[in-house]
Amino acid sequence: MRKRFLAPFVLSALFFAACGGGQNSNSEQQANNSTSGTEGAAVDTSMVSPGANAPVAKGKTLIDDQDCKTCHKEDVKLVGPAYKDVAAKYTADEATIDKLADKVINGGSGNWGDVAMLPHPSLAKEDAKEMVTYILSLK
């Protein structure tokens, strides 16, 4: 009876061992060929160094880590306004970013209807600014 259950596992292990190793796949060979001997070629480092969009990317990550998506979406109004509607209403200057960051931390109501935005007191002011900068970049 043990052999009946052992045989499928042994065959599966042999199958997976036979599938791996050996030759490089075609895409791996092309990647190896393209990196060797191209000292003067331009290299795309957009994934390595974020550059000028660093606050925007960080703001999106911070929003994804919070509970924002419960009430907001990028294009569609849910409980709160869509991010693109917020971006259309406000300018992306330092005073506005500061004011909206305070609104994210302290919560409030009245600007977009009767439903109040919940406060986020544990959120750091700089993180809130990064989030607002991302939202205002969606124009």
Q: Is 120 annotated as a binding residue?
A: no
* Average pLDDT taken over every residue of the chain: 77
Q: Is 1 annotated as a binding residue?
A: no
Whether domain 51-136 has CATH 3.40.50.2300: no
Q: Which residues pair with 77 in a beta bridge?
A: 72
Dihedral through CA 96, CA 98, CA 100, CA 103, nearest 10? -140
Q: What residues does each domain of the chain span?
A: 51-136
- pLDDT (tens digit, 9 = 90+) per residue, 27-57? 444 544 444 444 545 555 444 444 555 556 8
Distance of CA 5 to the CA centre of its chain: 44
Residue 131 confidence (pLDDT) above 70: yes
Structure pTM? 0.60
Q: Is 71 annotated as a binding residue?
A: no
Spatial CB neighbours of 60, under 8 Å, sequence gap ≥ 6: 134
Q: Which pLDDT score, from 0 to 100, does residue 38 have?
A: 46
